[in-house]
Chain A
Amino acid sequence: NAGVMQNPRHLVRRRGQEARLRCSPMKGHSHVYWYRQLPEEGLKFMVYLQKENIIDESGMPKERFSAEFPKEGPSILRIQQVVRGDSAAYFCASSLDRTGEYGYTFGSGTRLTVV
Chain B
Amino acid sequence: GEDVEQSLFLSVREGDSSVINCTYTDSSSTYLYWYKQEPGAGLQLLTYIFSNMDMKQDQRLTVLLNKKDKHLSLRIADTQTGDSAIYFCAESIRKLTFGSGTQLTVLP
Interfacial residues, chain A to chain B (CB-CB below 8 A): 33, 35, 41-45, 48, 55-56, 91, 93, 98-101, 103-109
Complex Cα distance, B98 from A74, in Å, reads 24
Q: Which among A41, A93, A100, A105 is the interface contact of B31 at CB below 8 angstroms?
A: A100
B33 within 8 A of partner (CB): yes
B100 within 8 A of partner (CB): yes
Task: Rank and list the top 4 A-B pairs by shortest CB-CB distance, nearest first.
Answer: A100-B92, A42-B100, A108-B42, A106-B43
Interfacial residues, chain B to chain A (CB-CB below 8 A): 30-31, 33, 35, 41-45, 48, 50, 88, 92, 94-101
| B98–A42 CB distance below 8 A | yes
20 A–B contacts, CB within 8 A, in A order: A33-B96, A41-B100, A42-B88, A42-B101, A43-B88, A43-B98, A45-B96, A48-B94, A48-B95, A93-B96, A98-B94, A100-B30, A100-B33, A100-B96, A101-B50, A103-B33, A104-B33, A106-B45, A108-B41, A109-B42
Tell me the interface secondary structure of chain B in the complex: strand
Residues of chain B within 8 A (CB-CB) of A109 are 41-42
Residues of chain A within 8 A (CB-CB) of B88 are 42-43
Nearest-Cβ distance from residue B87 to partner chain A, whole angstroms:
11
Complex Cα distance, B37 from A108, in Å, reads 10
Nearest-Cβ distance from residue B91 to partner chain A, whole angstroms:
9
* Minimal Cβ-Cβ distance residue in B for A108: B42
Residues of chain A within 8 A (CB-CB) of B100 are 41-42
Q: Which among B35, B48, B95 is the interface contact of A56 at CB below 8 angstroms?
A: B95
Given the interface contacts A43-B88, A91-B42, does A104 sit within 8 Å of B30 by beta carbon? no
Complex Cα distance, B8 from A12, in Å, reads 30
* Minimal Cβ-Cβ distance residue in B for A56: B95
* Minimal Cβ-Cβ distance residue in B for A58: B95
Residues of chain B within 8 A (CB-CB) of A105 are 45
